[in-house]
Amino acid sequence: MFTGLIQDTGTIQSITNNREGREFVIRTALIADIKVDDSIATNGVCLTATHIQDGTYRCQAIPMTLEKTNLGKLQEGDKVNLELSLRAQDRLGGHMVQGHVNGVGQIIDIKDMGKTWEFRVSFPSDLRKYMISEGSIAIDGISLTIARLSENELTLAIIPHTLEKTTLGGKKIGDSVNVEVDMVAKYIENFLQRGNARAEEWAKNFVR
Protein backbone atom coordinates (compact mmCIF):
# COMPACT_ATOMS: atom_id res chain seq x y z
CA MET A 1 0.00 0.00 0.00
CA PHE A 2 1.18 3.51 -0.88
CA THR A 3 0.01 7.12 -0.49
CA GLY A 4 1.01 8.68 -3.81
CA LEU A 5 3.59 11.00 -2.22
CA ILE A 6 6.76 10.58 -4.28
CA GLN A 7 9.92 10.15 -2.21
CA ASP A 8 12.53 10.17 -4.99
CA THR A 9 12.92 10.20 -8.75
CA GLY A 10 15.17 7.26 -9.53
CA THR A 11 17.14 6.68 -12.73
CA ILE A 12 16.91 3.60 -14.92
CA GLN A 13 20.47 2.29 -15.10
CA SER A 14 19.79 -0.71 -17.32
CA ILE A 15 16.95 -2.73 -18.83
CA THR A 16 17.18 -6.42 -19.69
CA ASN A 17 14.55 -8.34 -21.62
CA ASN A 18 14.13 -11.89 -20.31
CA ARG A 19 11.66 -14.78 -20.37
CA GLU A 20 9.75 -13.23 -17.48
CA GLY A 21 9.38 -9.81 -19.14
CA ARG A 22 11.83 -7.00 -18.37
CA GLU A 23 14.28 -6.52 -15.53
CA PHE A 24 15.07 -2.96 -14.46
CA VAL A 25 18.09 -1.77 -12.51
CA ILE A 26 17.21 1.51 -10.78
CA ARG A 27 19.48 3.93 -8.94
CA THR A 28 17.88 5.84 -6.07
CA ALA A 29 18.73 7.88 -2.99
CA LEU A 30 16.30 5.65 -1.09
CA ILE A 31 18.56 2.60 -1.37
CA ALA A 32 19.48 2.56 2.36
CA ASP A 33 15.80 1.95 3.19
CA ILE A 34 15.26 -0.79 0.59
CA LYS A 35 15.62 -4.49 1.29
CA VAL A 36 15.17 -7.51 -0.97
CA ASP A 37 11.44 -8.38 -1.25
CA ASP A 38 10.37 -4.79 -0.47
CA SER A 39 7.52 -3.37 -2.56
CA ILE A 40 8.34 -0.14 -4.38
CA ALA A 41 5.89 1.92 -6.43
CA THR A 42 7.67 2.68 -9.70
CA ASN A 43 5.73 5.22 -11.77
CA GLY A 44 2.76 3.96 -9.77
CA VAL A 45 3.40 0.26 -10.43
CA CYS A 46 4.05 -1.96 -7.42
CA LEU A 47 7.29 -3.87 -8.10
CA THR A 48 9.46 -6.04 -5.84
CA ALA A 49 13.15 -5.42 -5.16
CA THR A 50 14.98 -8.65 -6.04
CA HIS A 51 18.62 -7.60 -5.66
CA ILE A 52 20.51 -4.66 -4.16
CA GLN A 53 24.01 -3.57 -5.16
CA ASP A 54 26.07 -0.36 -5.33
CA GLY A 55 23.22 2.09 -4.77
CA THR A 56 20.83 0.30 -7.12
CA TYR A 57 18.11 -2.32 -6.91
CA ARG A 58 16.66 -4.71 -9.45
CA CYS A 59 12.99 -5.35 -10.09
CA GLN A 60 11.09 -7.50 -12.57
CA ALA A 61 8.04 -6.49 -14.63
CA ILE A 62 6.05 -9.41 -16.06
CA PRO A 63 4.45 -9.25 -19.53
CA MET A 64 0.99 -8.41 -18.15
CA THR A 65 2.43 -5.44 -16.26
CA LEU A 66 4.22 -4.23 -19.39
CA GLU A 67 0.97 -4.48 -21.37
CA LYS A 68 -1.18 -2.63 -18.82
CA THR A 69 1.27 0.18 -17.95
CA ASN A 70 3.81 2.49 -19.59
CA LEU A 71 6.80 0.62 -18.10
CA GLY A 72 7.41 -1.05 -21.45
CA LYS A 73 8.23 2.37 -22.93
CA LEU A 74 10.95 3.19 -20.41
CA GLN A 75 14.52 3.52 -21.65
CA GLU A 76 17.88 3.56 -19.94
CA GLY A 77 18.48 6.98 -18.38
CA ASP A 78 14.77 7.71 -17.87
CA LYS A 79 13.59 9.06 -14.54
CA VAL A 80 10.87 7.23 -12.57
CA ASN A 81 8.75 8.23 -9.59
CA LEU A 82 9.52 6.08 -6.54
CA GLU A 83 7.65 5.54 -3.30
CA LEU A 84 8.35 2.98 -0.60
CA SER A 85 5.43 1.06 0.86
CA LEU A 86 3.40 2.63 3.64
CA ARG A 87 4.25 1.80 7.26
CA ALA A 88 1.51 1.56 9.89
CA GLN A 89 2.79 4.65 11.75
CA ASP A 90 3.18 6.86 8.65
CA ARG A 91 0.98 9.86 7.92
CA LEU A 92 -1.46 9.30 5.06
CA GLY A 93 -0.65 12.52 3.25
CA GLY A 94 -2.06 11.58 -0.16
CA HIS A 95 -4.69 8.86 -0.63
CA MET A 96 -4.71 5.06 -0.53
CA VAL A 97 -2.83 3.82 -3.62
CA GLN A 98 -2.37 0.11 -4.37
CA GLY A 99 0.19 0.30 -7.14
CA HIS A 100 -2.19 -1.59 -9.42
CA VAL A 101 -2.50 0.51 -12.56
CA ASN A 102 -5.97 0.53 -14.14
CA GLY A 103 -5.03 1.99 -17.51
CA VAL A 104 -2.68 4.20 -19.50
CA GLY A 105 -3.58 7.80 -20.26
CA GLN A 106 -1.96 10.45 -22.42
CA ILE A 107 -1.02 14.07 -21.76
CA ILE A 108 -2.91 16.10 -24.34
CA ASP A 109 -2.23 19.65 -23.11
CA ILE A 110 0.03 21.51 -20.68
CA LYS A 111 -0.62 25.15 -19.72
CA ASP A 112 1.45 27.54 -17.63
CA MET A 113 -1.11 29.29 -15.40
CA GLY A 114 1.37 31.50 -13.56
CA LYS A 115 1.71 30.00 -10.09
CA THR A 116 0.45 26.58 -11.20
CA TRP A 117 0.43 24.40 -14.29
CA GLU A 118 -2.57 22.66 -15.80
CA PHE A 119 -2.17 19.19 -17.27
CA ARG A 120 -4.99 17.79 -19.37
CA VAL A 121 -4.92 14.00 -19.55
CA SER A 122 -7.01 11.59 -21.61
CA PHE A 123 -7.88 8.21 -20.13
CA PRO A 124 -9.71 4.99 -21.13
CA SER A 125 -13.45 5.70 -21.08
CA ASP A 126 -14.22 2.66 -18.92
CA LEU A 127 -12.44 4.36 -15.99
CA ARG A 128 -14.74 7.41 -16.01
CA LYS A 129 -17.26 5.86 -13.60
CA TYR A 130 -14.61 5.69 -10.87
CA MET A 131 -13.78 9.40 -11.01
CA ILE A 132 -15.37 12.53 -9.57
CA SER A 133 -14.45 16.18 -9.82
CA GLU A 134 -12.20 17.11 -6.86
CA GLY A 135 -11.63 13.40 -6.22
CA SER A 136 -8.28 11.63 -5.94
CA ILE A 137 -6.35 10.05 -8.81
CA ALA A 138 -2.86 8.56 -9.07
CA ILE A 139 -0.94 9.63 -12.19
CA ASP A 140 2.40 7.80 -12.57
CA GLY A 141 2.08 7.07 -8.87
CA ILE A 142 1.52 10.71 -7.84
CA SER A 143 -1.51 11.43 -5.66
CA LEU A 144 -3.34 14.29 -7.38
CA THR A 145 -6.75 15.96 -7.30
CA ILE A 146 -9.02 16.10 -10.34
CA ALA A 147 -9.78 19.77 -11.01
CA ARG A 148 -12.12 19.25 -13.97
CA LEU A 149 -13.56 16.14 -15.56
CA SER A 150 -15.26 15.11 -18.79
CA GLU A 151 -16.10 11.72 -20.29
CA ASN A 152 -12.54 10.82 -21.26
CA GLU A 153 -10.38 13.73 -20.11
CA LEU A 154 -9.35 15.15 -16.75
CA THR A 155 -7.54 18.33 -15.78
CA LEU A 156 -4.96 18.51 -13.00
CA ALA A 157 -3.65 21.66 -11.29
CA ILE A 158 0.05 21.06 -10.57
CA ILE A 159 2.05 23.21 -8.15
CA PRO A 160 5.75 23.98 -8.83
CA HIS A 161 6.89 21.73 -5.96
CA THR A 162 5.25 18.70 -7.60
CA LEU A 163 6.82 19.53 -10.95
CA GLU A 164 10.22 19.75 -9.30
CA LYS A 165 9.99 16.61 -7.16
CA THR A 166 8.40 14.23 -9.70
CA THR A 167 8.74 13.26 -13.35
CA LEU A 168 5.88 15.60 -14.30
CA GLY A 169 8.42 18.40 -14.71
CA GLY A 170 9.92 16.55 -17.67
CA LYS A 171 6.66 15.49 -19.29
CA LYS A 172 5.49 16.80 -22.64
CA ILE A 173 2.34 16.63 -24.73
CA GLY A 174 1.87 13.12 -26.11
CA ASP A 175 3.61 11.33 -23.23
CA SER A 176 1.83 8.38 -21.67
CA VAL A 177 1.04 8.13 -17.95
CA ASN A 178 -0.13 5.33 -15.67
CA VAL A 179 -3.59 5.89 -14.20
CA GLU A 180 -4.87 4.32 -10.98
CA VAL A 181 -8.36 5.26 -9.85
CA ASP A 182 -9.42 5.56 -6.21
CA MET A 183 -9.87 1.95 -5.05
CA VAL A 184 -12.76 2.94 -2.75
CA ALA A 185 -14.91 3.57 -5.85
CA LYS A 186 -14.16 0.06 -7.14
CA TYR A 187 -15.10 -1.52 -3.80
CA ILE A 188 -18.39 0.39 -3.82
CA GLU A 189 -19.11 -0.78 -7.36
CA ASN A 190 -18.41 -4.40 -6.43
CA PHE A 191 -20.60 -4.15 -3.33
CA LEU A 192 -23.52 -2.70 -5.29
CA GLN A 193 -23.22 -5.23 -8.11
CA ARG A 194 -23.13 -8.19 -5.73
CA GLY A 195 -25.90 -6.69 -3.64
CA ASN A 196 -28.13 -6.24 -6.70
CA ALA A 197 -27.42 -9.79 -7.89
CA ARG A 198 -28.40 -11.20 -4.49
CA ALA A 199 -31.52 -9.05 -4.39
CA GLU A 200 -32.57 -10.33 -7.82
CA GLU A 201 -31.97 -13.93 -6.75
CA TRP A 202 -33.97 -13.37 -3.57
CA ALA A 203 -36.83 -11.85 -5.60
CA LYS A 204 -36.90 -14.86 -7.95
CA ASN A 205 -37.06 -17.29 -5.04
CA PHE A 206 -39.73 -15.21 -3.32
CA VAL A 207 -41.96 -15.21 -6.39
CA ARG A 208 -41.72 -19.00 -6.58
Q: What is the pLDDT of residues 109-161, one digit of tens each?
A: 999 999 899 999 999 999 999 999 999 999 999 999 999 999 999 999 999 99
User: In the predicted model, is pLDDT for residue 203 greater than 60?
Assistant: no
Q: How confident is the model at residue 35 (pLDDT cuts 50, 70, 90)?
A: very high
pLDDT at residue 204, rounded to an integer: 60
User: In the predicted model, is pLDDT for residue 199 greater than 90?
Assistant: no
User: What is the C-alpha separation between 168 and 163, in angstroms, rounded?
Assistant: 5
pLDDT at residue 197, rounded to an integer: 59
pLDDT in tens, 45-103: 999 999 999 999 999 999 999 999 999 999 999 999 999 998 878 877 888 899 999 99
User: What is the C-alpha separation between 62 and 21, in angstroms, rounded?
Assistant: 5
pLDDT at residue 186, rounded to an integer: 83
User: In the predicted model, is pLDDT for residue 34 greater than 70?
Assistant: yes
pLDDT at residue 88, rounded to an integer: 78
pLDDT at residue 202, rounded to an integer: 52
Pairing assessment for the beta strands 176-181 and 117-122 based on DSSP bridges: unpaired
Give the number of other CB atoms < 10 A from CB of residue 168.
24
pLDDT at residue 193, rounded to an integer: 82
